[in-house]
Amino acid sequence: MIILGINCFGHDSAATFVKDGKVIFASEEERLNRKKHSGDFPIEAIKSGLKFLNIDLSDIDHVAFSWNPTITYRKIPTYLVRYWRTLPILLKERKNFSMEENLGMLNYLSDINKLPKTLKSSIKSKNKTHFKFHKLEHHLCHAASCFYATDFDNAAILTIDGAGEWSTTMVAYGNKGRITKLWTVDTPFSLGALYQAISTYLGFRLVEGPGKLMGLASYGERDSEEFYKLKKIITLNSDGKFSFDMSYFSYHYSRETGVTEKFINEFGPPNHLGKNWTQRELNIAAAVQQLLEEAIFNILHWIKENLKTDNLCMAGGVALNSVTNGLIAKSGLFKKVFIQPAAGDSGTSLGAALYVENAILNNERKYVQKNAFLGLEFSPKECKEALSKSNLNFKYMTDENKYELLSQKIFDGEIIGWFNGRYEFGPRALGNRSILASPLISDMRDILNKRVKFRESFRPFAAIVLEEDVGIYFDSNIKNPYMLFVYEVREKYRKIFPSITHIDNSVRIQTVSKTDNRELYLLLKAFKKISGYSVLINTSFNIKGEPIVSSPEDAIKSYKSSDIDSLVINNFIIESKKIN
């Protein structure tokens, strides 16, 4: 039984293949077409998956898509009523109203309905295709992506994003093979859209803005005047749900602005530059982060009181907010917390496929996610051929000297491009397509931001640490292999690790064990032997505006165009950009 899950036509297009109940391959389209956050039909991801499994399109039994147009159509009258109620605001803010953007939803729904035809016409098949096509509720796909990826018999499930069909938040209960939806919060009330709107207001671009806002929020004051003003227009109810005074927001009819003139009159003019923020603007960033945390914990307390489970699963774009996630993990509300590493919309391709497997076909659960390395892998021959064509000098390293050589380079201040094994599924670089550096060097963060990543100077960097040592350096010893939790650097180590310690003493952490990632584990062990510390900077192997590298050719191109000192591709190393 082979199931193909698809997400596309919005952002973060992806394809996932499930064979006999297990996820075999998953990839974002951006990794292959090199368009960041690509919403294109994921033809390259699908072709790569077919090749990886050595199958034909005709071998696929089911195709699942993570959006159900029927739900959207059913609530269009409600949608129109909402527009009528906000007509005075629309007329006042008509310069911000995007008719093209709102009519775009109809095109999106049309594209979904035509997807089987698109799939068949885009990919040649040796035999006649016979797959059954499933259009699934978006938030159920998010829920399936996290619950069906665990070994939990039961769990509370929380999904939060901008919007899917109409829902922006869903609370569900997973029990064995069944997911039961308990309640939702529907548009226009959206924590994800609110966070996006504030990030736009502060000068960040769509989609990528919330991640940047999370880092910026640490520079603002908590419990500020701006927080209490924002809190007045957000209502948190005792049943876990929430609502907004929508006269302050325009994100439900114009993503380009996000907020109305009323918001601007209350909070001040927007910063369209995305830099040189005033303290007021920094406080607004901190305020929306603090409010997000309060809203999520309000939901979690309702879950804890009403659902008899010690397990929590989370997905949806907001579940990538690692600051909030760290607070959840350390709160003790739940004994076990699993957050899908591909929590955003790319992960709904995985959820759609698993939902068909477990909920629709009612098959016994067979899959437990052990890692996020679900993408393509390149053979030593393919890597050597790419390196040979690069006109750069390279050499082969044996396992006996590889880790000692590289850890010494990092200790001496070198920046290493690290390419190994299958690439990750999801937005985080988890050690197979990473840039690695020493956290002991005081100006390494500035060096990486300016000379390698070409990005904003305030952006913090994540760290990797041996799983057995995490509690030594940081305020939690909870396993965190997917870099989804933020911990605090213990006071003793803040000056020792200056380049990973954020302004509020926090750091996003990835724990590494030998079973998680053997190569990375051995490198950390070697670095600890030299330096005394089992911690390294780990950031994604890409430069600003580009997706994380996929192929050896991508890695070589990024190496040539940035200030990385050495490039490691499996056991090959380039130590100089000098052309032969």
For residue 413, tell me if it sits in a domain.
yes
pLDDT tens column, 476-532: 999 999 999 999 999 999 999 999 999 999 999 999 999 999 999 999 999 999 999
What is residue 454's predicted lDDT score, i.e. its pLDDT?
86
What pLDDT, on the 0 to 100 scale, is given for residue 78?
Answer: 65
Task: Tell me: pLDDT of 352 over 60.
Answer: yes
49 in the same domain as 102: yes
For residues 134 and 216, state if they share a domain.
no
159 domain-assigned: no
CA angle 304, 487, 223 (to 5 degrees): 70
Q: Where residue 545 sits, what CATH number does that domain have?
A: 3.90.870.20
Tokens of 243: 């609502």
- How many separate domains does the chain show? 3
Q: What is the mean pLDDT of residues 103-116?
A: 84
Angle at 244 between CA 172 and CA 246, to 5 degrees: 130
- Tell whether the model's pLDDT for residue 404 goes beyond 80: yes
**Residue range(s) defining the domain that contains residue 326:** 186-339
Instruction: Indicate the pLDDT class of residue 73, thresholds 50, 70 and 90.
Output: confident
**513 burial level (CB within 10 Å; 0-12, 13-18, 19+):** middle
* Residue 316 domain-assigned (yes or no): yes
Looking at the structure, do residues 204 and 98 belong to the same domain, yes or no?
no
Same domain, 430 and 332: no
Pair of tokens at residue 195: 């966070």
- The verdict on residue 179 lying in a domain is no
Q: Are residues 347 and 396 in the same domain?
A: no
- Of 329, 360, 391, which closes a domain? 360
Query: Distances in Å between the alpha carbon of 88 and those of 82, 253, 257, 269?
Result: 12, 13, 17, 22
Comparing 290 with 108, which gets the higher pLDDT? 290
Q: Is residue 549 part of a domain?
A: yes
**Does position 318 have pLDDT exceeding 80, yes or no?**
yes
- In this prediction, residue 79 has a pLDDT band, given cuts at 50, 70 and 90, of low
On whether both 424 and 308 belong to a single domain, the answer is no
At 104, the pLDDT band (50, 70, 90 cuts) reads low
User: What does the mean pLDDT of the chain come to?
Assistant: 94
Would you state the pLDDT for residue 287?
98
Q: Are residues 290 and 348 in the same domain?
A: no
- The DSSP letter of residue 246 is G
pTM score of the predicted model:
0.95
Tell me the C-alpha distance between 511 and 247, whole Å: 44
Averaged over 42-54, what is the pLDDT?
Answer: 98
The answer to whether 15 touches 29, Cβ cutoff 8 Å, is yes
Q: Could you tell me if 330 and 353 lie in one domain? A: no
Q: Say whether both 6 and 117 belong to one domain.
A: yes
What CATH number does residue 251 fall under?
3.30.420.40
Residue 236, domain member (yes or no):
yes
Residue 296 covered by a domain: yes
pLDDT band at 579 (very low <50, low <70, confident <90, very high): confident
Q: Provide the pLDDT for residue 83.
A: 55
Kindly tell me the burial class for residue 354, based on how many C-beta atoms sit within 10 Å of its own C-beta (0-12, 13-18, 19 or more): buried
Indicate if the pLDDT at residue 32 is higher than 70: yes
> From edge to edge, which strands make up the β-sheet containing 506-512?
395-396, 572-574, 566-569, 416-419, 433-437, 535-540, 462-466, 506-512, 485-488
408 and 553 housed in the same domain: yes
pLDDT tens digits, 260-281: 999 999 999 999 999 999 999 9
Name the one residue in this structure whose structure tokens are 């029990």. Answer: 175
Q: Is a pLDDT exceeding 60 seen at residue 87?
A: no
Per-residue pLDDT tens for 124-146? Answer: 999 999 999 999 999 999 999 99
With respect to residue 150, please indicate whether it lies within any of the assigned structural domains. Answer: no
* Residue 105: pLDDT band with limits 50, 70, 90: confident
Over residues 439-483, the pLDDT tens digits come to 999 999 999 998 888 888 899 999 999 999 999 999 999 999 999
Q: With 60 as the cut, is the pLDDT of residue 332 above it?
A: yes
Q: What is the pLDDT of residue 544?
A: 85
Is the confidence at residue 97, as pLDDT, over 60?
A: no
Using the 8-state DSSP alphabet, how is residue 505 labeled? S
**Which of 339, 368, 401 is the last residue before a domain boundary?**
339
Is the same domain home to 473 and 554? yes
Same-domain pairing of 54 and 80: yes
